[in-house]
């Protein structure tokens, strides 16, 4: 009788543990189904660099943009070799934001830089290291309506 009473007292804890096990096994099936989703594919197009801006090096990739499922992705590295304008490219109409964006980017040394992207598609580099190296890798934003 004592063992039965001990089991009854511990039953809520056993029930909770059993439910947790059941839900975790069910979660595994959900993970397996989500793992079967194909990775996103983005077709990139080269940006026409202006005002003395050029591709940084072969290792960084050419500055480019791609659009997938309503999101614009930027890639590549660049630096200014001539001129003094911070405007480096203009995005086409289908890849522009609905409002001005300022997005931090990696730059040379230990200083900071940002990309300013306007609804007209004009793209500028700003910050304390704006005339050296700037990477567009990892920059993304929704396409404007």
- Interval 84-113: pLDDT, tens: 888 999 999 999 999 999 999 988 766 778
Average pLDDT over every residue of 122-128: 86
- Which residue, among 63, 64, 68, has the nearest Cα to 38 in the 3D structure? 68
The secondary structure of residue 60, as a DSSP letter, is: G
Higher pLDDT, 145 or 112: 112
pLDDT given at position 30 = 47
| Straight-line distance from the first to the last Cα atom of the chain, in angstroms, rounded to the nearest whole number | 72
pLDDT band (50, 70, 90) for residue 8: very low
Alpha helix locations (H) across the chain? 2-35
pLDDT band (50, 70, 90) for residue 83: confident
What's the rounded Cα separation, in Å, for the pair 76 and 106? 11
What are the sequence ranges of the domains in the chain?
1-37, 44-142
- Interval 17-64: pLDDT, tens: 555 544 555 555 444 445 556 666 889 999 999 999 999 887 789 999
- With b for 16 or more beta-carbon neighbours within 10 A and e for fewer, the 50-83 pattern comes to eeebebbeeebbbbbbbbeeeebbbbbbbbbeee
pLDDT band (50, 70, 90) for residue 122: very high
Query: Residue 122 half-sphere exposure, CB side, CA atoms within 13 Å?
Result: 9
Average pLDDT over every residue of 2-31: 53
Average pLDDT over every residue of 131-145: 86
What's the rounded Cα separation, in Å, for the pair 29 and 17? 19
Residue pair 105/75 in contact by the 8 Å Cβ criterion: no
pLDDT given at position 59 = 79
Pick the CATH number of 44-142 from 3.60.21, 2.60.40, 3.30.70, 1.10.3110: 2.60.40
């Amino acid at each position: 009788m004592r063992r039965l009473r001990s089991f009854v007292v511990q039953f809520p804890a056993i029930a909770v543990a059993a439910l947790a096990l059941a839900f975790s096994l069910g979660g595994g099936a959900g993970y397996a189904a989500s793992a079967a989703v194909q990775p996103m594919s983005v077709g990139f197009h080269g940006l026409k660099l202006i005002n003395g801006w050029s591709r940084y090096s072969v290792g960084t990739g050419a500055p480019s943009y791609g659009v997938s499922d309503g999101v614009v992705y930027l890639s590549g590295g660049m630096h200014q070799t001539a001129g003094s304008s911070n405007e480096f490219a203009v995005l086409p109409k289908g890849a522009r934001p609905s409002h001005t964006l300022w997005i931090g980017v990696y730059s040379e040394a230990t200083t900071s830089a940002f990309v300013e992207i306007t609804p007209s598609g004009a793209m500028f580099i700003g910050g304390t290291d704006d005339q050296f190296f700037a990477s567009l890798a990892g920059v993304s934003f929704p396409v404007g309506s």
